[in-house]
Amino acid sequence: MRGQGRVFRPRVGRRTTSKWWLDYGLNGERHREPAHTASKAEALRLLRKRMAERESGKVVGRPDRVTFAQMRELTERQYALDGRRSMVRLKGAFAHLERALGRDARASEIRVERLDAYTAARLAAGASRSTVNYELAVMRRAFRLAIEKGLLASMPVIRLPQVRNRRTGFFDEGDIAALLLELPGDTRSLVQFLGLTGWRRSEGLGLTWDSVDWEGEVIRLAASDTKGGDARLFPFGSAPELKTLLEARWANQDGLFVFHRGGSRIGEGALTGAWKGACKRAGLLGRLVHDLRRTAARDLRRAGVSEGEIMRLCGWRTRSMFDRYNIIDEEDLARAVAKRFNGKTTTKPEASTPAVEQTTPELSSTPAAQYDFSTR
């Protein structure tokens, strides 16, 4: 019937395709979209669903014309408006997606099967699963923004497989001492600061003197300076080692940054280079700057600080992220076992004592009434 739409199979040259398409009116304009099925009955069911959604206002815009390029532009614009600091990583993820899916690919063509194939290809090329998951999350974000802006009415279900990459690795006092001895002066104090506070390297590198409240003896970070977007503070008045470190940095003040190289901010590359060289000389190959964050959290927990307070001091927003750092190490477990058995003497089990030899005649000569079998 007129106004109820139709299903059809497009012709490509002289051949009719096997997949059905929908054709219906939307806001006075003709709208077409693939049904992604070779069954006419399934296509008709989807058409009836679209008609109902059209009447309720759920179907909007021209989803058949929305392309990957439009969704990418929309997402990058939104990141800029939100002041996200991960724009470089976002663009890198989109670059991989665009090479695989195509800049002019229509949103209706980006289905689960294509994304599954993309995942398999990226993993085969050597990309880590966490990297691929981030790229899929970017694609999911692009679809959701398109729906929020009224460009699309629906999106594929993009599931992100769980990544089992709990972080491991701690420093003990000897490791830290050896590492600090090998670091050059301009990065030594920065590494010491990260080990005491558990803050991220970017937060230490970007720390400026206007964040240090000498009167209140507190370091304050604005929400815009943290990865999670939450303001944070770290009191240093009751932490003599941290206070001494900050006072030493103030005595060598040269410009805006607390930790600097010739008055300029220390770059990520400079820190990475100094770190790797120091780890090699200290016999700590393979250790990460991020291990300092995990070590600081462990030390705070050992000191009796609650996990909620550790999360606030060090900057974890969710318990799931905090748990991924696997804060408990082998020494903690050994201490727990010692606490369980504290004060109890443990001895090796003695060899079993041979049973008193009894002979069959003695057993058989003893009246059965003399034995109580009720408790055996």
pLDDT tens-place string over residues 87-121 = 889 999 999 999 999 999 988 889 889 999 999 99
Q: Does any domain span residue 367?
A: no
What DSSP letter does each residue of 177-218 carry, written as one string? HHHHHHS-HHHHHHHHHHHHH---HHHHHT-BGGGEETTTTE
Amino acid 29: pLDDT: 66
Domain total of the chain: 3
Q: 25 and 48: one domain?
A: yes
Q: 201 and 105: one domain?
A: no
Please name which of 117, 93, 97 lies closest in space to residue 107, comparing C-alpha atoms.
97
Please name which of 131, 180, 209 lies closest in space to residue 292, comparing C-alpha atoms.
180
Structure token pair of residue 122: 């990226």
Q: Does any domain span residue 368?
A: no
Sign of the C-alpha dihedral, residues 85, 191, 280, 332? negative
Q: 88 and 202: one domain?
A: no
Q: 204 and 219: one domain?
A: yes
Amino acid 356: pLDDT: 47
Q: 140 and 236: one domain?
A: no
Q: Does any domain span residue 95?
A: yes
Q: 316 and 178: one domain?
A: yes
Domain at 203, CATH number: 1.10.443.10
Residue where a domain terminates, one of 34, 59, 84: 59
Q: 187 and 323: one domain?
A: yes
Q: Does any domain span residue 305?
A: yes
pLDDT in tens, 245-278: 999 999 989 999 999 998 999 998 999 999 999 9
Q: 77 and 202: one domain?
A: no
Residue where a domain terminates, one of 90, 115, 148: 148
Q: 180 and 324: one domain?
A: yes
Q: Does any domain span residue 341?
A: no
Helix, strand and coil percent figures for the chain, each rounded to 5: 50, 10, 40
Torsion of CA 52, 55, 61, 63, to 10 degrees: 10
Write out the residue range of the structural domain in which residue 31 sits: 6-59
Q: 119 and 29: one domain?
A: no
Q: What is the phi/psi pair of residue 351, to 5°?
A: -65, 145
Residue 259 · residue 267 · CB < 8 Å: no
Structure token pair of residue 67: 């392309």
Structure token pair of residue 277: 């060289």
Q: 187 and 71: one domain?
A: no
Q: Does any domain span residue 347?
A: no
Amino acid 66: pLDDT: 87
Q: Does any domain span residue 316?
A: yes
Q: 26 and 77: one domain?
A: no
Domain at 121, CATH number: 1.10.150
What are the residue ranges in the chain where pLDDT is below 50?
Answer: 345-346, 353, 355-376
Amino acid 366: pLDDT: 42
Q: Does any domain span residue 376?
A: no
